[in-house]
Amino acid sequence: MLAGPTDTTAVSAPGKVLLAGGYLVLDRAYTGLVFGLSARINIIAQAIKTSPGVQLNEIVVDSPQFLEAQWTYGYHLADQDGGIQVTQLRTGTALHANPFVETTLSYGLTYVSRLAGLSPSHTINSCRLTILADNDYYSQPNDSYSTSASSTGRFARFPTTLSGANKTGLGSSAALVTSLTAAILSHYLPTDLFDLSTDAGRETLHNLAQAAHCAAQGKVGSGFDVAAAVYGSCTYRRFSPSVLAGIPEPGKPGFGAALQAVIASKKGSNDNDAKNVAGWDTEIAKGSVALPAGMALRMCDVDCGSQTVSMVKKVLAWRASAPEASKTLWDTLQSCNEALATALCDSKTDDDTIPAVLRSIRQLVREMGTASGVPIEPESQTALLDAVSEVEGVYGGVVPGAGGFDAVSLLVKDDKETEARLEAFLEKWSKESGGRVRLLDVKGAMEGVRREDKGIYEGWLKPM
């Protein structure tokens, strides 16, 4: 068996914001400028202690910040190399499915079983996985809700089910899948097979988390959010969808071998041909992203919401219908995005350069929105960004990622005076506009996934 009964493993992964490169990042010809965030999803893995001679094959997943947020799964090694098949067990009156958790367990435990060389007579120990999310992942729509959330410190107890919570768009699903995958691998595998602190370990984690996240979504996304969860802030070029095309569903014949081959594949490797898999062609550049000293990336929660999937479909339909015009616009936007990355990395950049580049990016994004009929930067967000950019200490901002009504990102001076002016402005703006905009505590951060000291979760973990 793997993992001793006293083992406890804690890891966390950050959320993300795609500051520049929304829509462009879907195409390998372009890149995205993605920042990790200080808000993190935390996973604590604990072995479940049983009586002597008693063996369980259960994984209990607990999200104690929310109501009715516990899932119990049985698992077994499927025939014909189908990997570890996970089945949700009924706990109470109804099943509340969580496809991101269930899929990640199937992928993670299958990979563990392959590396450990498990057979049906050698099983994986049961464990409890506790999920704790920093408060900024969820909107707090009224004063009483906000008070109840803030009174518990870093991890709020929200008076709602997980499905009823309002997300702020920080990339919770990617951070969850990444941290959950990292916890499973770190908990069950010895460091000679998986070490999160090494380049090889992070590459394995990235590939496995990408595969699990895409499967849970039911589609192959660009993957920038998983890359940020693993590596932190970076410039990202997506992988080709063909990389994941040959993986069967969990439990189907050959799933285990196919998954292991894809996770280990590398661009241009001869081993790929022998195993009939495409190599990972993701490009992740850590050194090309930075924030100047004294500058912070801040997020504002705008309590509305957007239908990202339908927006993406409309933009891609416009691009297909107007290939020349869209290419010209996207090429120009890519140049502006690269200019922003360069300006942020250059310690000698003057105070006028970044605001000018941000204005150029916003203008091009609005042109794309007009041409495609998609509210990427809606008029209400334009008015907000124009006004907030006039606040002393604010360099400017954008509607990040796919755009819409639910968030804005700002580059600001990192001092208390600017923060106070910004909060006062947003309070006044919310009252006058009839909407609700608040400055989140979260800031841009460079670090990706990491091990954590279990002591910081005291009071949240059940005794083993």
Q: Which residues contact 63 (CB under 8 A, 6 or more apart)?
A: 69, 70, 130, 131, 132, 133, 162
Residue 303: give its domain's CATH number: 3.30.70.890
Q: State the pLDDT at residue 52.
A: 59
Domain contains 462:
no
Query: Domain of 330?
Result: 295-444
Same-domain check for residues 276 and 310: no
Co-location of 245 and 385 in the same domain? no
| Residues linked to residue 410 through DSSP beta bridges, in sequence order | 298, 397
- Dist CA 109 CA 77 (whole Å): 10
- Tell me, yes or no, whether 42 and 119 share the same domain: yes
Number of neighbours of residue 446 by Cβ within 10 angstroms: 15
What is the widest separation between alpha-carbon atoms in the chain?
70
* pLDDT at residue number 122: 52
Give the percent of the chain with pLDDT over 90.
71
Examine the domain organization and report whether 232 and 361 are in the same domain.
Answer: no
Specify whether 149 is located in the same domain as 21. Answer: yes
Judging by beta carbons within 10 Å of its beta carbon (0-12, 13-18, 19+), is residue 239 exposed, middle or buried?
buried
> Looking at per-residue confidence, does 34 or 93 come out higher?
34
* pLDDT band, residue 119 (cuts 50/70/90): low
One domain, residues 80 and 220: yes
CA dist 343 and 357 (Å) reads 9
**Rounded Cα gap, residues 176 and 128, in angstroms:** 15
Contact 220, 214 (CB under 8 A): yes
Q: Are 172 and 252 found together in one domain?
A: yes
Give 333 or 301, the one with higher predicted confidence: 333
CB 461 within 8 A of CB 46: yes
Q: Does the pLDDT value for residue 104 go beyond 50? A: yes
Sign of CA dihedral 427, 308, 316, 335: positive
Say if residues 168 and 299 touch (Cβ distance below 8 Å). yes
State CA 243 to chain mean position distance. 20
pLDDT at 149: 42
DSSP 8-state class, residue 124: B
In a domain, 1, yes or no: no
- Say which residue the tokens 């239908």 belong to: 307
Lowest mean pLDDT among 54-63, 191-200, 219-228: 54-63
Average pLDDT value for residue range 11-26: 97
Beta bridge partners of 296: 412
How many domains are there within the chain?
2
* Domain co-membership, 217 together with 157: yes
**Model pLDDT for residues 84-94, shown as the tens digit of each residue:** 999 999 765 56
pLDDT in tens, 365-414: 999 999 999 999 999 999 999 999 999 999 999 999 999 888 899 999 99
Structure confidence at residue 93 (pLDDT): 57
Residue with tokens 């590939």: 207
Q: Which CATH number does the domain housing residue 208 bear?
A: 3.30.230.10
Pick from 184, 178, 48, 177: nearest CA to 113? 184
Residue 415, C-beta contacts closer than 8 angstroms, at least 6 positions apart? 294, 393
Q: What is the pLDDT of residue 147?
A: 34
Does 412 fall in a domain? yes
Residue linked to tokens 């050959």 = 254
- Looking at the domain assignment, is residue 278 inside a domain? yes
End-to-end CA distance of the chain: 18
Residue 305 has pLDDT above 70, yes or no: no
In a domain? residue 264:
yes
- Whether 222 and 309 share a structural domain: no
166: DSSP letter:
-
- Do 238 and 363 fall within a single domain? no
Burial class (CB in 10 A: 0-12, 13-18, 19+), 234: buried
Whether 280 and 361 map to the same domain: the answer is: no
pTM: 0.93
d(CA 411, CA 96): 39
What is the Cα–Cα distance from 155 to 150, expressed in whole angstroms?
A: 8
Q: Decide if 453 contacts 44 (C-beta within 8 A).
A: no
Same domain, 187 and 305: no
Q: Enumerate long-range contacts of 270-277, CB under 8 Å, 24 or more apart.
A: 276/246, 277/243, 277/246
Domain annotation covers residue 151 = yes
In which residue are the tokens 């990355």 written? 341
Among 413, 168, 135, 104, which Cα is nearest to 299's?
168
pLDDT tens, position by position, 259-286: 999 999 988 777 777 677 889 999 999 9
Q: Can you give the pLDDT at residue 145? A: 36
Q: What angle is formed at CA 299 by the lines to CA 297 and CA 304, rounded to 5 degrees? A: 160
Beta bridge partners of 69: none
Instruction: Name the H helices within 322-435.
Output: 323-345, 353-372, 379-388, 416-433
Residue 2 placed within a domain: no
Note whether residue 175 is domain-resident.
yes
Q: Is pLDDT at 441 greater than 90 in this prediction?
A: yes
